[in-house]
Amino acid sequence: MLAALPIAEPDPLWALIRSFRHDRRADKIDLVVGVYRDASGETPVMCAVQEAEARLASAAASKSYRALSGNMAFNEGISAFLLGADTETLGRQCTIQTVGGTGALRVLADFIALVSPDATMWNTNPGYVNHRPIMTAAGLQVKSFRWQENDTGLDIEAAFADLDEARKGDVVILHGCCHNPTGVDPSLEQWRRIAAFCKDKGLTPMVDMAYQGFGDGVEEDAAGLRLLAGALDTLLVAASCSKNMGLYCERTGAAMVIAPDSKPLSNIRATLERIARASYSMPPEHGAAIAAALFENPRAWLAELEISRRRVAGIRRDLGAALREHGAPAKFQALCRQKGMFSLLPLDSHQMTRLREEFGVYGTASGRINIAGLLPDQVDRLAAALCAVLRNVAVANLR
Ligand SMILES: Cc1ncc(COP(=O)(O)O)c(C=O)c1O
């Protein structure tokens, strides 16, 4: 059997992480790993999470099997967090807890493969590295559409020009906020146009919400999703609590299907549960129980999330200022208006290799950097290194 095993290339991201660990330079900068770091370089467990965990531990509830849909208090909490607490949409949606945002994407991909196997999935280019593999693994066909910037923000005409080829019944994968890897989000007016475009062409959006609270705020970041939900009959949503609750390794997420009305909901739930049952059966309880507690009593958690959000926005401002001081081309100022943890540097893979080898700055070969991984005392050095690479200056001349 194993003789037929094809060679699987190791994930390039993990290869970069490994070489960062082995790099002996004290001033190396890790902008690869997609986690939030505080100003001291830690990925902290939020205090609100620690308190919820302490309460859960003292309650010592049974570890018996839970429902196939997961923790129902969590499902209710995350639905209201995503859609708003007071919206008619809550009455025509079905949500199940999943194994992180990735699990949500896979459950929804399997759902689409079941109900609409000929649908083409439209993926942003550039896009999140795992969208295409997840959709392909579910047997779906994937095509891409441009997700690029012009002088003011998202170049929506380029996106529409590519999506013009989409057929009725196709699915468009959209990032709810903080697009990974570009940080380029639609304006509210552009969300309106996306909703009208999808309605007109009979396309179903699938919104991936992995960073709610890291852009402009938890409500603001959900505005595009809520607009789509109000305008369209059918919508799919994959959500993650990895970043905004710092629950990365607890694998806490949700898959939501919004239907035209409440009639098909029990059948949708049974279908989603069947998909989950054939894969992992039930999602892990611990992270969802913590998240449910945070949704129920959100004040402390939201205050901590706001501190993280402000730190990332502040790093963007500081990096923009440092780049200006070092004489970087004006296009780098787009980093300041982009949103969330990631941005895509306008550098080629050769320049990214130089950044890594000569300056100890680790980003992905495509140019993606994790802004939320940058520490305050690294901002100026990063700006200098970027400008040196652009000007083709060697490291010795910088020191
Ligand atoms: C756009 C996007 N979707 C989904 C995920 C996966 O989230 P999770 O870690 O909860 O599986 C990520 C994680 O980086 C992401 O960036």
Determine if ligand 1 sits within 6 Å of the CB of residue 214: no
Please tell me the distance between residue 128's alpha carbon and the centre of ligand 1 in angstroms.
Answer: 8
54 phi and psi angles, rounded to 5 deg: -65, -40
pLDDT at 306: 98
> How far is ligand 1, taken at its centre, from the CA of residue 120, in Å?
21
How far apart, in whole angstroms, are the C-alpha atoms of residue 368 and residue 181? 6
Of 222, 226, 174, the closest CA to residue 198 belongs to: 174
Give the Cα separation of 195 and 163 in Å (integer). Answer: 13
Positive or negative, the Cα torsion across 128, 281, 79, 37? negative
Choose among 55, 169, 64: nearest CA to 121: 169
pLDDT of residue 301: 98
CA of 178 to the centre of ligand 1 (A): 11
At 43, the amino acid letter reads T
List the residue whose alpha carbon is closest to atom 8 of ligand 1.
Answer: 101
Tens digit of pLDDT at every position of the chain (399 positions): 999 999 998 888 888 999 999 999 999 999 998 999 999 999 999 999 999 999 999 997 889 999 999 999 999 999 999 999 999 999 999 999 999 999 999 999 999 999 999 999 999 999 999 999 999 999 999 999 999 999 889 999 999 999 999 999 999 999 999 999 999 999 999 999 999 999 999 999 999 999 999 999 999 999 999 999 999 999 999 999 999 999 999 999 999 999 999 999 999 999 999 999 999 999 999 999 999 999 999 999 999 999 999 999 999 999 999 999 999 998 899 999 999 999 999 999 999 999 999 999 999 999 999 999 999 999 999 999 999 998 876 665 555
Question: 208 and 179 in contact (C-beta within 8 Å)?
Answer: no
Q: Does residue 210 have its Cβ closer than 6 Å to ligand 1? A: yes
Return the pLDDT at 21: 94
State if residue 253 touches ligand 1 by the CB under 6 angstroms criterion: yes
What is the structure's pLDDT at 389?
93
Q: Which atom number of ligand 1 is nearest to the Cα of residue 103?
A: 11
Written in H, E and C, the secondary structure of the chain is CHHHCCCCCCCHHHHHHHHHHHCCCCCCEECCCCCCCCCCCCCCCCHHHHHHHHHHHHHCCCCCCCCCCCCHHHHHHHHHHHHCCCCHHHHHEEEEEEEHHHHHHHHHHHHHHHHCCCCEEEEEECCCCCHHHHHHHCCCEEEEEECCECCCCECHHHHHHHHCCCCCCCEEEEECCCCCCCCCCCCHHHHHHHHHHHHHHCCEEEEEECCCCCCCCHHHHCHHHHHHHHHCCCEEEEEECCCCCCCHHHCEEEEEEECCCCCCHHHHHHHHHHHHHCCCCCCCHHHHHHHHHHHHCCHHHHHHHHHHHHHHHHHHHHHHHHHHHCCCCHHHHHHHHCCCCEEECCCCHHHHHHHHHHHCEECCCCCEEEHHHCCHHHHHHHHHHHHHHHHCCCHHHHC
Residue nearest to atom 16 of ligand 1 (CA): 180
Dihedral-angle region of residue 71 (phi above 0 means left; psi in -120 to 50 means alpha; beta otherwise): beta
Calculate how far, in angstroms, residue 155's C-alpha sits from the geometric centre of ligand 1. Answer: 24
Q: Which residue owns the Cα nearest ligand 1 atom 4? A: 101
User: d(Cα 123, Cα 129) in Å, to the nearest integer?
Assistant: 10
- Contact status, residue 248 vs residue 35, Cβ threshold 8 Å: yes
CB 262 within 8 A of CB 91: yes
Residue nearest to atom 12 of ligand 1 (CA): 210
Q: Are 361 and 29 in contact (CB under 8 A)?
A: yes
**Can you list the domains of the chain with their CATH numbers?**
11-45+301-398 (3.90.1150.10), 65-297 (3.40.640.10)
Å from CA of 387 to ligand 1 middle: 31
User: Which of 78, 58, 37, 69 lies closest to 294 in space, CA to CA?
Assistant: 78
pLDDT for the residue 102 = 98
For residue 30, which of 309, 382, 328, 322 has the smallest C-alpha distance?
A: 382
Between the CA of 240 and the centroid of ligand 1 the distance, in Å, is: 7
Does 208 sit in the ligand 1 pocket, CB within 6 Å?
Answer: yes
Locate 23 and state its tokens: 């790099």
Q: Which residues, including other chains, have CB under 8 Å from residue 30's CB and lie 6 or more apart?
A: 17, 20, 362, 370, 373
- The answer to whether the CB of 163 falls within 8 A of the CB of 193 is no
Contacts of 215-219 with CB under 8 Å at 24 or more apart are: 215/177, 215/178, 215/185, 215/309, 215/339, 215/340, 216/177, 216/339, 217/306, 217/309, 218/81, 218/244, 218/302, 218/305, 219/84
